[in-house]
Amino acid sequence: MSTIPEGFLTAAGHQLEYRWHGPAPKEAPTLVFLHEGLGCRDLWKDVPADLSARLGMGALVYSRPGYGGSSGITLPRSTDYLTPEALEVLPAVLDATGVERAVLIGHSDGGSIALIAAGRGEDPRIRAIVTEAAHVFVEDITLAGIREARTAWETTNLREKLARWHGANTDTAFHGWNDTWLTDAYAAWTIKDVLAGVTVPALIIQGEGDQYGTEAQVDAIVNGVSGPVEKLMVPDCGHVPHFEQRRRVLDAITAFVDALTP
């Protein structure tokens, strides 16, 4: 792992921006942050640094291809676009950074990627996962929220706001997420079949007022995985628990990860 705290790494043929906090991989386990469908490295803000300091672990944050300052992609995406992120890009990122013991922390699309990686990746470096607002199937509420985002893109300054974080990738980041979820084919998308392969400890978090999914997503995960699992439904909270109910959520993640190691 480079001693440079942020910059670019090469993984699966892409140049990906990254940031590192805390101890190097040889010194401690690493928290690996996987962002949501409109997210990137910088949109995690200070959450990775906070959890790194609380736990005495390293924290790796990166932007996937087509997001933030990472290299671009060509649209359209396939309906299974999360699978190569979990089984090709993520392992290559761990290789490039020298991560040996990883706790995946994934939000929304990132949570689904964490489940796929743990359920199908057979990667011994993945020791546990935390998901926030992960999806394992498509709900009507999800599609309604995505349609609302499309309306906001077309009628408000949403593009301008996203451009602050994604720069030249702004249009690709939005349409690669929004257009894909609104295709007819995506209505049948599911990753329920990967859940039985998740044998590592898992903490599954969702806001009770999540505008993109219901508690049925959490229950499907909790009932489907094979390893130890904890469920946390967060009151007075929407789609972004680590910001909307920061103390409660970060305390829960800290307690969960603390319990994994002596």
Measured distance CA(74)–CA(13) in Å, rounded = 14
pLDDT of residue 214: 97
Residue listed under structure tokens 């999540």: 210
Phi, psi torsion values for 148, nearest 5 degrees? -65, -40
DSSP H or E stretch at residue 14: strand 14-21
Vertex 39 angle, CA 260 and 70, to 5°:
100
For every residue of 229-249, DSSP letters joined together read: EEEEEESS--S-HHHHTHHHH
Measured distance CA(239)–CA(226) in Å, rounded = 26
Assigned token pair, 216:
């049925």
| Structure confidence by residue, pLDDT tens digits, 206-251 | 999 999 999 999 999 999 999 999 999 999 999 999 999 999 999 9
3 state DSSP class of 111:
helix
Phi, psi torsion values for 16, nearest 5 degrees? -115, 130
pLDDT of residue 81: 97
Residue listed under structure tokens 């109910």: 245
Assigned token pair, 33:
């942050």
Measured distance CA(99)–CA(119) in Å, rounded = 19
Measured distance CA(167)–CA(171) in Å, rounded = 9
pLDDT of residue 195: 98
Answer yes or no: are the C-beta atoms of 242 and 108 closer than 8 Å. no
pLDDT of residue 122: 87
| Domains in the chain: ranges and CATH | 6-258 (3.40.50.1820)
Answer yes or no: are the C-beta atoms of 113 and 90 closer than 8 Å. yes
Which stretches in the chain have pLDDT values below 70? 1-4, 262
For residue 30, the cross-strand partners are 58, 102
pLDDT of residue 4: 67
Assigned token pair, 43:
């949109």
